[in-house]
Amino acid sequence: MNVKIIFEDEFFLVIDKASGVVVNRAESQKAETLEDWAAGKFIVHRLDKDTSGLLLIAKTQEVLDNLQGQFKSRTVVKKYLALVHGVVEPSEGSINAPIERSPFNRMHFGVFPGGREAETGYKVLSHAGLDPASIQIDSGLRRNDKVYTLLELTPRTGRTHQIRVHMKYINHPVVSDPIYGGRKNIQADLKFCPRLFLHATYLKINHPKTSEILEFNSPLPPDLQQVIDQLQ
C-alpha cells in the first residue's frame, strides 16, 4: 500500500489517506487495510472508506492515550471540505442534532431522539467553485438542474458518519454519497463526481510530548479539484 506521510517523528505520524482505503480490519474486508499497513502502531481516529484526508497514527500506547484524550476533551480541531447539494443558508452556522444507529438498517446512522449529542459547524466557501456574490441563485450555475455549495465543516463531536448524516438532515446531502445521498442524486452525481466529495483538510493538535500546537493541512486531491473545475 502506497501511503502519503505528511509528518512523522518518534511519537506519531500524520498521513493523507486516499479515498477507497479501509482504515480498520474486518472479517468482510479482504484487501489490505490501513491497520495492516500500520502494524505495530495505533490508529488514533477513523475516516470512512470513501473519505480522504488527514489521519493520525500513534507509535506507542502512551501516545495513543494522549491523542485520544485530546479528542475526548474536544481540544482537537478537525476541518473537512465537502461539496453538497443546494444553496446552504445562512452562510455560517451550526447543526446540533443527536445521532444514533438506525433501527431500520444497522449499517446506517441517522438523527433520532435520544441519540448521542452531535454538533457540526459549517461555513460556505463558494457555490460550485464560484464566489457566492458572483452568481444569481435563481438562475444559478447549474449541473443536473442543481446548484452546489462547497463547505468547510468542523465536527465538534466525533459520531460515526456525522457530517454525512447532518448534511442529509438539513437537506443538503454530500455529493456522491452512496448511503445518505438518495438514489436519484447518486445516479446523477456519479456522472461528474466519481466518489464521495468529503476530504479531511485540516487538523490541529497538541504534540503528545511537548504540548506544542501543531497544524496540518491537506488540499483537495486532484480528483475532487477536477470536479470543482468542471462546475465553473
Which residues carry out catalysis? 48
Q: Tell me whether residue 19 is exposed, middle or buried, using C-beta atoms within 10 angstroms of its C-beta: 0 to 12, 13 to 18, 19 or more.
A: buried
Please state, in angstroms and rounded to a whole number, the distance separating the CA atoms of residues 82 and 112.
Answer: 23
- All 3 cell numbers of residue 130? 464560484
Q: Tell me whether residue 149 is exposed, middle or buried, using C-beta atoms within 10 angstroms of its C-beta: 0 to 12, 13 to 18, 19 or more.
A: buried
Which of 24, 84, 124 has the alpha carbon at shortest distance from 224? 84
- Report the Cα–Cα distance between both ends of the chain, in Å, rounded: 34
- Secondary structure element (H or E) that encloses residue 119, with its range: strand 119-127
Would you give the DSSP letter of residue 26?
-
C-alpha distance from residue 17 to each of 20, 30, 135, 227 (Å): 9, 18, 34, 19
Please state, in angstroms and rounded to a whole number, the distance separating the CA atoms of residues 78 and 47.
Answer: 12
Please state, in angstroms and rounded to a whole number, the distance separating the CA atoms of residues 38 and 57.
Answer: 8
Beta bridge partners of 52: 199
